[in-house]
C-alpha cells in the first residue's frame, strides 16, 4: 500500500540502493528479456516521478540517472521507449 508514506519511503530507498549498484554486469538481474522485455526496477519507480514528497521525486530522478548510464543497447532501447511514452512527456 503506497498510500502509507513510511512503506513508500522504505520501498523507494530500497529501489534507490539497488539502482546505485547497477552496472553493465548486474543489470541482467533486473532487465528481463523473456518472455517479454521488462525492467520492473525502472518502470515501477518512474511512476512516482510526480509524487508530492520531494524525497521520493529526488530518489526517482537518482534511479533514472543510474539506469541511463547503463551501456547496454537493449536496456537503452527499452528505457528510451518507455521514457518517451510516459516519463519525458510528463516532465515537460
**pLDDT tens digit sequence for 12-66:** 999 999 999 999 999 999 999 988 999 999 999 999 998 999 999 999 999 999 9
Give percent helix, percent strand, percent coil of the chain, each to the nearest 5.
65, 0, 30
**pLDDT tens digit sequence for 64-85:** 999 999 999 999 999 988 887 7
DSSP 75: H
Cβ–Cβ under 8 Å, residues 15 and 59: yes
Closest CA to 83 of 31, 51, 46, 36: 46
Residue 62: CB atoms within 10 Å: 16
**pLDDT of 92 strictly over 60:** no
Q: How confident is the model at residue 89 (pLDDT cuts 50, 70, 90)?
A: low
Predicted local distance difference test score (pLDDT) of residue 82: 86
Amino acid at each position: 500500500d503506497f498510500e502509507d508514506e513510511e512503506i513508500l519511503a522504505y520501498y523507494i530507498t530500497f529501489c534507490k540502493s539497488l539502482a546505485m549498484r547497477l552496472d553493465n554486469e548486474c543489470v541482467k538481474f533486473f532487465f528481463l528479456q523473456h518472455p517479454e522485455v521488462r525492467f520492473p526496477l525502472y518502470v515501477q519507480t518512474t511512476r512516482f516521478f510526480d509524487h508530492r514528497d520531494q524525497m521520493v521525486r529526488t530518489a526517482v530522478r537518482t534511479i533514472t540517472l543510474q539506469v541511463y548510464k547503463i551501456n547496454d543497447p537493449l536496456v537503452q532501447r527499452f528505457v528510451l521507449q518507455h521514457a518517451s511514452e510516459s516519463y519525458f512527456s510528463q516532465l515537460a
